[in-house]
Chains A and B, each alone.
Chain A
């Protein structure tokens, strides 16, 4: 605050350093002084200031949305109450006759065991997807420790990547990790995904060429597409369950934008596929088939993109 009593001077002005005070109207530059070199730009040390906070970035605590709570509650009720009911029933059967009790126990055990196995598989599928997400995020951040740990875990599970395990262990920066993965296993996986895509594309083409209705086409395309996505995921070491497949499909479809950029590759593949003389002969009548085939190829590409543990640059 300025001294009490006297109001502060009202008129704005520019005061050049080195003492000389030009008249207040001097928004215009002062005559350039040849002797004094231009002053260095201000430096707020911004790069350092913003880099500090980034190391210890709090990860969000995974909370539960109300939808999740609802689902979990319903599952507990259904499974828990039915389990209690089943236990009561088994006890009653034992009271009736031991062999009946044993039989009922066996049936109940088998049923719950299957449900448990399904849940386990879902959980594993989701965990694998999450681990891919973590790896991608780590690569994007340039966080070497996490990226390396995730890459090693991934390579141990994927047959195509076994051979690069030692090289991965020896890599000591994210860029070389990325280079090893991209040159070796990822290139191989991409090629295999393309092969799967071509097989699916041929089938889609054939089905569309002979199918009776457009609705049927769509159905076949959708089921073949889902299978293709799961096959590609399996190549990448993901064995998605139901939820995992949903997640993958969503991601694959939403990432279609990134694939549009790589459409050139899809186009060449489609051309190679469709210049098969036999196909060419019927392609005239089956333009829809060509479209379906091309879509299948693109789907393979997008799926492979969605499963990569290294994000594209």
Chain B
């Protein structure tokens, strides 16, 4: 257990008191932490969430399950006007316009933090409403590069611990191939290597090459540190010139790497992790389950391991101090994204497979007293169900327009197993990548929301009790 932190306790107590006062006034504020590895679908999810909530607030039935949860009391939804935030603003309009354009464009890889808050105005349940006015629930949202999440578990490790764990991992499985040149380099370094910048930069470059190869050719996920893969708006900085060493305790190069490791973490903590992940009330963990399945056994297990590491490092509350200060996460939804990649009948299997994949994170959230749920959703539905003939037999498939060629295709995603499949399943060893589809025809302003699958059920479960 980490040592109690008096300042942290004070800020938690203040936050708890503010929350209680806001709840009394009917002005709740809740932060929805959307977590997901890179390409899990966070940016698209947030775009669809904002567009559909705004449309629902304008009286369209884009989110029927959420409206039912609010018992028709949802009166209006607005974007909270910008204040004096230093963080860029998440721009759903731009994303929507790009998705609706001809030819359509999906959001690029997210390279920076951005935030947005929505205010839901609700009628009060009773006549008291005329005295106290409408209730407002403010939903705070954050978009960020998925790679950065993996810096969270590093916060609890010293440089020596991280080095040992990382090197052990690099020597196993597909990583050994991806990191071959890097491993040869560090193994050849003498224990007392001097703190030369030439050495540290060479090591950094080789290590980063390895990370890229592991991500792009092997579909691996548990890749640290996050900014090596996605340097963000500030680009590469000297504090990133470190890498794991077999003798992390020595002087010289080892000491330099340890100092940079600490500086890197301090930086990530202060700009990203502490402001946004220290406190949140609801969480949606987005996982591209199908891609993990299609990328082979090692990638599948690596995704599970990465998610487990991240959730183990997140603060779910549940300790005595957290109870005292009223902190803690109430609901955690595990969400299989891009559910439109499988036909309707297979979505139950997709959910079941996700449930199996996130078993460890789920137990962790449950132990801290949070409610957990497992869902499948398509933030933007791009396909319709159809049948195709494969090997002379009819199978259920999905049909959509391919992004690149603009041609119609049916895609048979394979049979989704309801739990982690045994060795039999992976034997053919061939990896598959689901093609990108064009989004359906959309209104460029998104005034009517966007077609989705299951977004309303998820939101009703996540925030329905606040409405």
Contacts and interface: CB of A to CB of B under 8 A. Distances in A.
A16 B407 CA distance: 7
A141 B60 CA distance: 10
A27 interface: yes
Interface stretch (A76-84, A221-229, A254-262, A279-287): A254-262
Interface string A16-54: 111000001101011011001011111110110011111
A247 B428 contact: no
B73 A54 contact: no
A247 B132 contact: yes
Interface string A245-276: 01100110010011001000000000000000
A11 B414 contact: yes
Contacts of B8: none
A135 to B, nearest CB: 13
B61 A27 contact: no
Interface string B159-192: 0000000000000000000000000000000000
A252 to B, nearest CB: 10
B464 interface: no
A99 interface: no
Contacts of A247: 130-133
Contact of A42 (B72, B430, B440): B440
Contact of A27 (B81, B123, B395, B434): B434
Contacts of A54: 59-61
Interface residues of A, number: 62
Contacts of A257: 81
B414 A12 contact: yes
A109 B62 CA distance: 56
A153 interface: no
B61 A41 contact: no
Nearest to B63: A50
Given A14-B409, A15-B409, A140 B132 contact: no
B120 to A, nearest CB: 14
B81 A261 contact: yes
Interface stretch (B108-116, B147-155, B225-233, B444-452): B444-452
B287 interface: no
A27 B435 contact: yes
A4 interface: no
B1 interface: no
A218 interface: no
Interface in B405-451: 405-415, 425, 428, 430, 432-435, 438-441, 443, 448-451
Given A41-B401, A257-B81, A12 B407 contact: no
Nearest to A36: B407
B411 A13 contact: yes
Given A15-B412, A46-B450, A258-B81, A51 B60 contact: yes
B382 to A, nearest CB: 7
A14 B72 CA distance: 43
A27 B432 contact: yes
A27 B406 CA distance: 14
B265 interface: no
Most buried by A among B397, B408, B409: B409
B338 to A, nearest CB: 14
B348 interface: no
A38 B384 CA distance: 18
B126 interface: yes
Contacts of A62: 125-127, 129
Contacts of A39: 401, 406-408
Nearest to A27: B433
Most buried by A among B125, B131, B433, B439: B131
Contacts of A46: 440, 448-451
Contacts of B451: 44, 46
B439 A129 contact: no
A97 interface: no
Contact of A15 (B27, B125, B132, B410): B410
A96 interface: no
Interface residues of B, number: 69
Contacts of A63: 125-126
A15 B425 contact: no
Contacts of B411: 12-15
A42 B428 contact: no
Most buried by A among B127, B384, B407, B415: B407
Given A10-B414, A42-B382, A67 B448 contact: no
Interface in B347-387: 381-384
Most buried by B among A29, A36, A141: A29
Contacts of A169: none
A29 B405 contact: yes
A126 B130 contact: yes
Given A41-B438, A54-B59, A63-B126, A11 B432 contact: yes
A243 interface: yes
A213 interface: no
Interface string B386-399: 00111101010100
A13 B425 CA distance: 16
A24 B415 contact: no
B59 A141 contact: yes
A68 interface: yes
Contacts of A40: 401, 441
Nearest to A32: B405
A38 B435 contact: no
A192 B38 CA distance: 56
Contacts of A65: 124-126, 128
B408 to A, nearest CB: 4
A42 B441 contact: yes
A7 to B, nearest CB: 8
Contacts of B75: 137
Contacts of B406: 38-39
A66 to B, nearest CB: 9
Interface string B49-81: 000000100111110100000011101100001
B402 interface: yes
A220 B381 CA distance: 59
B72 A38 contact: no
Contacts of B401: 38-42
Contacts of A25: 430, 432
Contact of B130 (A42, A64, A129): A129
B95 interface: no
Nearest to B438: A41
Contacts of B382: 42
Contact of A60 (B71, B404, B433): B71
Sort A-B residue pairs by CB-CB distance and give the 7 closest, nearest first.
A38-B406, A53-B61, A12-B414, A65-B126, A29-B404, A27-B433, A42-B440
9 contacts: A9-B391, A15-B389, A24-B430, A29-B404, A33-B407, A50-B55, A130-B130, A247-B131, A261-B81
